[in-house]
């Protein structure tokens, strides 16, 4: 994606209820290292120099609580929908005219770095409908049907998709509108755009970009954040420890 002529907005869907974690609040409002997942995710988006406006979609009734958790700047909170896809479609309505590209990022992936936002945006060009960060799978993947293995997938052609994902805004709007008309539902925007006939590029993802889906994921993410935010060792610490 070329220089400063391209205007970018970020969309952060954060309306998930966290049903698999049996929560008393929406998952994005869980604390990680003293801050909400939502706060961390939006801070990363805001820290990407290319991003102007950020639109956050939260469950209806949670808008004011979300606003209190978010950094200053051009950040707008809207009520999300019953699914991730509907939340992104509703958030797109608050992306102002003149924006060329959007980057969609799940609040549940609160550890994505601003550099990853920059990576997907830099890779976006007119030959691609979107860009998705991926990490390789190290496990052997079996195709299973009715409790029986029916195939083994070639691992060198498989990758695990992450967010943030970057798209040209007009094709993304068109794909969401078409999916709504036809009753199609997808787990991420890259899948939606593939279905709509667009080619999707990949860039390397981040191993620590954990998606918080279950309680154990929150613990893993907390350990990563603790290491990431640990203060640097004082000069000479290693020498004092070893007697050097």
The predicted-structure confidence for 89-105, as pLDDT tens digits, reads as follows 999 999 999 999 999 99
- Within a domain: residue 50? yes
List the domain range (segments joined by +) for residue 214. 8-242
Which pLDDT value is given to residue 243?
45
pLDDT of residue 4: 52
In a domain, 2, yes or no: no
By the 8 A CB rule, do 131 and 124 touch? yes
Q: How many domains does the chain have?
A: 1
199 within 8 A of 129, measured Cβ to Cβ: yes
Q: What angle do CA 92, 132, 22 make, to 5 degrees?
A: 70
Beta bridge partners of 54: 10, 75
Provide the CATH number for the domain around residue 93: 3.90.550.10
Residue 6 confidence (pLDDT) = 79
| Cβ atoms of 76 and 92 closer than 8 Å | no
Give the whole-angstrom CA distance, residue 216 versus residue 230: 21
Q: At 244, is the pLDDT very low, low, confident or very high (cuts 50, 70, 90)?
A: very low
Per-residue DSSP letter, 89? H
- pLDDT, tens digit (0-9, with 9 covering 90-100), for 169-200: 999 999 999 999 999 999 999 999 999 999 99
Token reading at 11: 């969309």
How many helices and strands (H and E) does the chain possess? 8, 12
**Cβ pair 112, 206 in contact under 8 A:** yes
Give tens-digit pLDDT for 127-142: 999 999 999 999 999 9
| Contacts with 49 (C-beta within 8 Å, 6 or more apart), sequence order | 118
Mean pLDDT of 118-133: 95
- Residue 1: inside a domain: no
Residue 148 scores a pLDDT above 80:
yes
Whole-number pLDDT of residue 61 = 94
* Mean model confidence pLDDT for the chain: 91
Helix H segments across the chain? 37-46, 63-69, 84-92, 114-123, 169-182, 189-195, 215-228, 237-242
Residue 3 inside a domain? The answer is no
């Amino acid at each position: 994606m070329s220089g400063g002529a391209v205007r970018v907005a970020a969309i952060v869907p954060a309306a998930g209820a966290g049903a698999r974690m049996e929560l008393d609040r929406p998952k994005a409002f869980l604390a990680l290292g003293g801050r909400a997942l939502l706060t961390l995710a939006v801070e990363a988006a805001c820290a990407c120099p290319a991003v102007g406006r950020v639109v956050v979609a939260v469950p209806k009734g949670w808008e004011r609580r979300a606003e209190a958790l978010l950094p200053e700047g051009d950040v707008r909170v809207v009520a999300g929908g019953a699914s991730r896809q509907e939340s992104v479609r509703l958030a797109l309505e608050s992306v102002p005219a003149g924006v060329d590209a959007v980057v969609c990022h799940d609040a549940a992936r609160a550890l994505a770095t601003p550099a990853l936002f920059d990576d997907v945006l830099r890779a976006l060009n007119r030959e691609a409908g979107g860009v998705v960060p991926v990490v390789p799978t190290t496990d052997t993947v079996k195709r299973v049907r009715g409790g029986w293995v029916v195939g083994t997938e070639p691992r060198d052609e498989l990758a695990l998709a992450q967010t943030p994902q970057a798209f040209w805004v007009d094709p993304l709007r068109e794909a969401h509108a078409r999916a709504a008309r036809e009753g199609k539902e997808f787990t991420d925007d890259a899948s939606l755009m593939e279905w709509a006939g667009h080619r999707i590029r990949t860039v390397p993802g981040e191993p620590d970009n954990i998606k918080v889906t279950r309680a154990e994921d929150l613990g893993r993410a907390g350990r990563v954040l603790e290491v990431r935010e640990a203060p640097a060792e004082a000069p000479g610490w290693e020498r004092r420890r070893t007697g050097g």
